[in-house]
Amino acid sequence: APVSPRVKGGYVGVILCILLVVVLENKWIRDKIRDNKRNFRHSSGKLEQGISRNEFRNIIRSQKAVLAPLTRGGNLPFRRLCVKYGANVTYGEMMFTKMLLRGDATERARLRVGPHEKYYGAQIACKSINDGVTAGKMAQEAGATFVDLNCGCPIHEATKRGLGATLLQKPSKLRRLVEGLVSGLDPLPVSVKIRTGKSSDHITMHQIVKNMGEVGASAIAVHGRTQQQRYSQSANWSQIREAVKIAEEYDMPVIGNGDILTHYEAQAFQELSGCATVMIGRGALIKPWIFEELCRDTTLTPTPEERVEIYRELVGYMKDHFRDDARGKRMAFYFLPWHFNFFCRYRPLVPETFQDLSEDHPLIQSSRAISLLLGEEREVDPLENLLRSENEKVHVDIAEILWEADSDAEAIDKLKKYGESDTFVDLESNARNEKRTGRRTSESTKNADNNGGDREQMEETSDNFVAG
């Protein structure tokens, strides 16, 4: 049947509306990038971008620590919190360049640079020079000080695309890629983040560090684990020391990464390896004030009430970023409850008690020993007990209270009452029962299969309130 003019007009109207939305969305993104660039100013009023390769290297060498690129955790409000506590160099969350260049809204959002970020690195995941250069120029327009190529991410989402740690398997190909990025983005500094290799019997770090120095990478961050190890074993800082010796020939600073939870561990690892500075990831997620600890060379032990105030700072930054309305709250709550998976692992690790232990084994991998030394009890202060909860349902409730509270005092009062409520007690009891049941099932299956292996290591990983 023929379509009436009225229906045709309706189709045209719908198409025009869709086109208008696309145009407005792209304009909004361009405006945001322009605003970031305009606002990305230091106290002098000058843009902190356009620095030379040598200036960037000196900046890296002058830092006590830098904030690692963090999947999900590297959101702009959390980076802002870390900057407040002393992180001068920050990395954004890894961006897939293919998706970025196709206009993916999530990837484009990761271009955002906060006006508070002094030296910001946009981390990209790519295997094409053209894609990397195009993405790097977009990041520079948005206010990035440098671009970092991810060659260390072990997650399937990256490796199935031939990205992240997969790039470590072909040092010659990686060399050509970085050489192209350095040339195409000049004078924007280009850094690289790697692991030591695919596995313990396939270490490619030495050749890669040499190659990166030869093609002009401005810095290289070395995570002292292989792709296969992920986070299951302690980082190998002796191998990072080997990378430092190679990089010295090219005046390329090495950033050491892996297992840092305290200022005294950071100092010990830096002395052991000789690296220019250290990169902190999970340690910052657990206690964002770790950068202040390093700057002041001391251990901070905030009370539960003081930690609530810090967490409310993060809530405030999220309201600034996402807006304090229903839509903003939905966006923020993709991140906020998740952060409590790490905040709950905080313990006061004073050097008098824990420094000797840290010399034998990284504290971020030593939950049981820490519990024994602390004489860990469940009958602690109700607020402390609440903040230590590993229950994700509790994390959502904590986030709700922090979001809705009008003041620190109100948030603390409501959290204390919630920590003493039957609701919380029941949630914790159910979680403990599920955990016990899960352990029994796991052990029964393991014994039935007679697979052998290290049960202690399995339990250490599953129970670890620090390692994540």
Catalytically active residues are 153
Distance CA 418, CA 308 (A): 14
Instruction: State how far the Cα of 203 lies from the Cα of 212, in Å rounded to an integer.
Output: 16
Sequence-ordered list of residues with C-beta below 8 angstroms from that of 61, at least 6 positions apart, any chain: 253, 276, 277
Query: Which pair of structure tokens corresponds to residue 422?
Result: 């039957």
* Residue 145: both structure tokens together: 């000080």
Give the tokens for residue 83. 């900057």
CA atoms within 13 A on the CB side of 87: 30
Structure tokens that stand for 246 in this block:
């190679």
What do you get for the CA distance between the two ends of the chain, in Å?
63
Identify the three-state secondary structure at position 212. Answer: helix
Torsion on CA atoms 396, 401, 406, 408, rounded to nearest 10: -100
Residues 23 and 444: their CA atoms lie apart, in Å, by 58
198: exposed, middle or buried (Cβ count in 10 Å: 0-12, 13-18, 19+): middle
Residue 1 DSSP code: -
Q: CA angle at residue 419 from 415 to 420, to 5 degrees? A: 125
126 conformational bin, left if phi > 0, alpha if psi -120 to 50, beta if neither? beta
Query: Are the CB atoms for 152 and 195 separated by under 8 Å?
Result: yes
